[in-house]
Structure 1
Amino acid sequence: MPSLEEIMKMAEAAQAQLAQAQDNLDKVEVEGASGGGLVRIKATAKGRILGVSIDDSLMVPSEKSMLEDLIAAALNDARAKADVAAGEQMKSMTDGLQLPPGFKMPF
């Protein structure tokens, strides 16, 4: 069984790796879509919105509420994909850590 000092060193190394993983999440891009791709939202796995694309066919004043619903749906789709991408990134980072059994992440 590792000593307390070894556990603390492992915890510090894990914290540094997790901080790096958090920084990397802003480099992973996802795209959410709705309306069969008529509305697209590009975002990072950290949740930062990079861009919005709306098909010209949706630019009809009488369809404003439908467009608003499609934008909300595309944002939610992008957010869900960002959460999945972030989870995968964090899992890949923590899989390589040698932590004692029962040690919970994050700290």
Structure 2
Amino acid sequence: MLDFMGLMKQAQAMQSKMAELQGQLDQTLVEGEAGGGLVKVTMTAKGALQRLAIDPSLLNPEESDILEDLIVTAHAQARAKAEETLAEKMKEVTGGLQLPPGLKLPF
């Protein structure tokens, strides 16, 4: 019975850390860029877009497809950084505990 109580305490501590992590992820910003920095996307580690910066040299209506591609690329890079940040923070919270395959925590 003592093992069960210890396990419950660990679960409660992890739940508290997860709530704290949620707040941190809302405040953590990641940036992706494309075209040598001509397009930059800034988002939270939870994936909320915060800023899109486009160099004025790209604002040529005849080349809008290039701009669209650069925006998508910058967003994908920022998203990858957000996922990497999330994975690092999760390791801190779980203490390196390996979660079963397919188990996703509520993010």
TM band (smaller chain): 0.7 to 0.9
Match of 1:91 in 2: 91
Structure-1-length-normalised TM-score: 0.84
Q: Deviation per CA, 1:1-21, whole angstroms, max 9, x where unpaired?
A: x52111111111111111211
Match of 1:41 in 2: 41
Letter in 2 for 1:36: G
Match of 1:32 in 2: 32
* Runs (4+) off by over 6 Å: none
Shift of 1:35: 0.6
Structure-2-length-normalised TM-score: 0.84
Partners of 1:51 and 1:27 lie apart in 2 by 14
SS at match of 1:37: coil
SS at match of 1:46: coil
Q: Which runs of 5+ in 2 are unaligned?
A: none
Q: Does 1:50 align with 2:42?
A: no
Shift of 1:79: 0.4
Q: Which runs of 5+ in 1 are unaligned?
A: none
Tell me which of the two structures has the higher relative contact order, counting C-alpha pairs closer than 8 angstroms and 6 or more residues apart: 1
Partners of 2:86 and 2:3 lie apart in 1 by 32
> Number of matched residues?
103
User: Which range moves more in the overlay, 37-46 or 19-28?
Assistant: 19-28
Percent of matched pairs sharing the same residue: 43
